[in-house]
């Protein structure tokens, strides 16, 4: 791999923002300085652009294997690269379910052949796969669906949850919704065709109850817990006063930016996701909690379904929406609107995911770190459109949204994989390492 020198760019460094140069050798950041000698085979002169660490998306559903018409590791990683994402963590509710060491190995093998960016795979918990959870290696964590979502993974009985928290060595990530409460609400609204009933079935009370239980189990067993896609004011307020050091959480851009009945009326079942989009008060509380550090990071929960599938009436349409390629432009737009800083964006989308999942040499522009990099133009503007999406399903809930701040080029382990609409498909990412 020939050395590459980024010359005269704005660098988002851990210690602050600097104008300068960054040298890449053998896939690593070899040197950073105000002005480095021009002794590289490739010199990138992109004055006016900003170089930041590659985004780590810790929550995607790339549907591979089993549902290639929705997304594959090839198509999902391509969408990721176009959005400045250089590493992703994929969830286990695929077909077959990723609940064994063999199914994890199968997904890694597919990714090694097809993924443009770096990858990791959660193992899914069931009531009866404890031995697999104990023996699996090099996964970011164990995913527990405390409430049923897309797919058939579910662990909702207290004794099963207790056994997993007590007896497994890995981080536990939870989809926190109380299954009994969800089913009871669903029975009351049986036959509804109003998608606004979705958040009335998957209520804030159901989310809060499950979150409280997960935190209690984490405290009891001193277990590293990550609460996925926080959605409610009630959960944010609970964690603001009761968040042990072993507990972290995430929020998705859609739960920050899409809210209210009018939004459901505009998007219909395109807005249907689990946990649901809610009233405006929740979005406001989640943003405050993210800014205050109660919520630790951004995750997209990229969960694609085709437009044909999503066009089914409420009650039959699947839950989920794509988002891996729109997250960084949306957050950079918020930065340009003065709602956060570029350092906030890097912390939420790069540095913190690497720290939460103990991924070494990722998430920051530091000498010796892997050269996972994104060149962004903070002033570039466009309107998000369905037809321009890279994801295989070709739609976004943010269709028609203007954004300001765009990824221009993405580098994975020092190799260019995306540049202004072009992809370098011969490049492949690597399996992420997770330090135990």
Percent above pLDDT 70 for the chain: 99
Per the prediction, the chain carries an average pLDDT of: 96
Q: Which residues are CB-neighbours of 299 under 8 A, at least 6 positions away? A: 57, 58, 59, 228, 229, 250, 251, 252, 353
Q: Tell me the mean pLDDT in the region 350-372.
A: 98
d(CA 115, CA 249) in angstroms, rounded, equals: 27
Q: For 204-248, how does the pLDDT look when each residue is reduced to its tens digit (9 = 90+)?
A: 999 999 999 999 999 999 999 999 999 999 999 999 999 999 999
CA-to-CA separations, 114 to 117, 118, 315, in angstroms, rounded: 9, 11, 35
Q: For 387-419, how does the pLDDT look when each residue is reduced to its tens digit (9 = 90+)?
A: 999 999 999 999 999 999 999 999 999 999 999
Q: Would you state the pLDDT for residue 41?
A: 87
Task: Reply yes or no on whether the pLDDT at 177 is more than 60.
Answer: yes
Q: Would you state the pLDDT for residue 147?
A: 82
Annotated domain spans of the chain: 4-51+366-423, 55-356
Q: Would you state the pLDDT for residue 46?
A: 86
Superfamily of domain 55-356: Metal-dependent hydrolases (3.20.20.140)
Q: Tell me the mean pLDDT in the region 58-64.
A: 97
pLDDT band at 150 (very low <50, low <70, confident <90, very high): low
Query: 4-51+366-423 belongs to which CATH class?
Result: mainly beta
Q: Tell me the mean pLDDT in the region 121-143.
A: 97
Q: Would you state the pLDDT for residue 148?
A: 74
| 3-state DSSP assignment of residue 28 | strand
Q: For 304-342, how does the pLDDT look when each residue is reduced to its tens digit (9 = 90+)?
A: 999 999 999 999 999 999 999 999 999 999 999 999 999
Q: Tell me the mean pLDDT in the region 258-285.
A: 98
Task: Reply yes or no on whether the pLDDT at 31 is more than 80.
Answer: yes
pLDDT band at 121 (very low <50, low <70, confident <90, very high): very high
Task: Reply yes or no on whether the pLDDT at 420 is more than 60.
Answer: yes
Task: Reply yes or no on whether the pLDDT at 166 is more than 70.
Answer: yes
Q: Would you state the pLDDT for residue 149?
A: 61
Structure tokens given for 397: 């809930």
Q: Would you state the pLDDT for residue 291?
A: 98
CA atoms within 13 A on the CB side of 425: 9
Burial of 327 (C-beta count, 10 Å sphere; 0-12/13-18/19+): buried
156 flagged as catalytic: no
Consecutive H or E run containing 198 = helix 198-201
Catalytic residue among 57, 64, 90, 301: 301
Q: Would you state the pLDDT for residue 285?
A: 98
* Cβ density class 28-65: b for 16+ within 10 Å, e for less: bbbebeeebeeebeeebebeebbbbbbbbbbbbbbbbb
Q: Would you state the pLDDT for residue 424?
A: 95
Least confident of 35-44, 66-75, 86-95: 35-44
């Amino acid at each position: 791999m020939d050395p590459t020198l980024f010359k005269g760019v704005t660098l988002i460094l851990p210690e602050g923002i600097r104008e300068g140069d960054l040298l890449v050798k053998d896939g690593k950041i070899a040197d950073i300085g105000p002005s480095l000698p021009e002794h590289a085979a490739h010199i990138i002169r992109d004055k006016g652009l900003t170089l930041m660490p590659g985004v780590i998306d810790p929550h995607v559903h790339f549907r591979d294997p089993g549902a290639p018409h929705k997304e594959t590791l090839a198509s999902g990683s391509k969408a990721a690269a176009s959005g400045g994402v250089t590493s992703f963590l994929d969830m286990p509710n695929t077909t077959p379910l990723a609940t064994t060491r063999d199914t994890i190995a199968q997904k890694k093998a597919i990714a090694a052949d097809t993924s443009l960016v770096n990858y990791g795979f959660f193992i899914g918990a069931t009531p009866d796969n404890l031995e697999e959870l104990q023996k699996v290696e090099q996964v970011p964590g164990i995913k527990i669906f405390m409430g049923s979502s897309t797919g058939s993974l579910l662990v909702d009985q207290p004794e099963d949850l207790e056994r997993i928290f007590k007896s497994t060595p890995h981080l536990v990530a939870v989809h926190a919704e109380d299954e009994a409460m969800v089913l009871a609400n669903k029975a009351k609204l049986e036959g509804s065709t109003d998608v606004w009933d979705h958040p009335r079935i998957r209520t804030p009370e159901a989310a809060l109850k499950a979150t409280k239980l997960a935190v209690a189990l984490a405290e009891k067993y001193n277990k590293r817990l990550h609460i996925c896609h926080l959605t409610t004011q009630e959960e944010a307020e609970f964690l603001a006063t009761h968040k042990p050091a072993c507990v972290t959480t995430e929020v998705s851009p859609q739960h920050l930016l899409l809210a209210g009945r009018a939004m459901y009326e505009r998007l219909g079942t395109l807005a249907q996701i689990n946990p649901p989009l809610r009233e405006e008060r929740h979005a406001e509380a989640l943003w405050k909690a993210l800014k205050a550090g109660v919520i630790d990071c951004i995750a997209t929960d990229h969960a694609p379904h085709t437009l044909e599938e999503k066009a089914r009436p409420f009650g039959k349409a699947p839950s989920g929406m794509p988002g891996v390629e729109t997250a960084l432009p949306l957050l950079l737009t918020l930065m340009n609107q003065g709602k956060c800083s570029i350092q906030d964006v890097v912390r939420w989308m790069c540095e913190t995911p690497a720290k939460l999942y103990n991924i070494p040499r990722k998430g920051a522009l530091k000498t010796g770190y892997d050269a996972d990099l994104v060149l962004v133009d903070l002033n570039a503007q466009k309107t998000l459109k369905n037809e321009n999406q890279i994801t295989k399903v070709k739609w976004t809930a943010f269709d028609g949204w203007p954004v300001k701040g765009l990824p221009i080029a993405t580098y994975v382990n020092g190799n260019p994989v995306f540049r202004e609409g072009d992809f370098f498909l011969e490049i492949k990412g690597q399996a992420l390492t997770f330090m135990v």
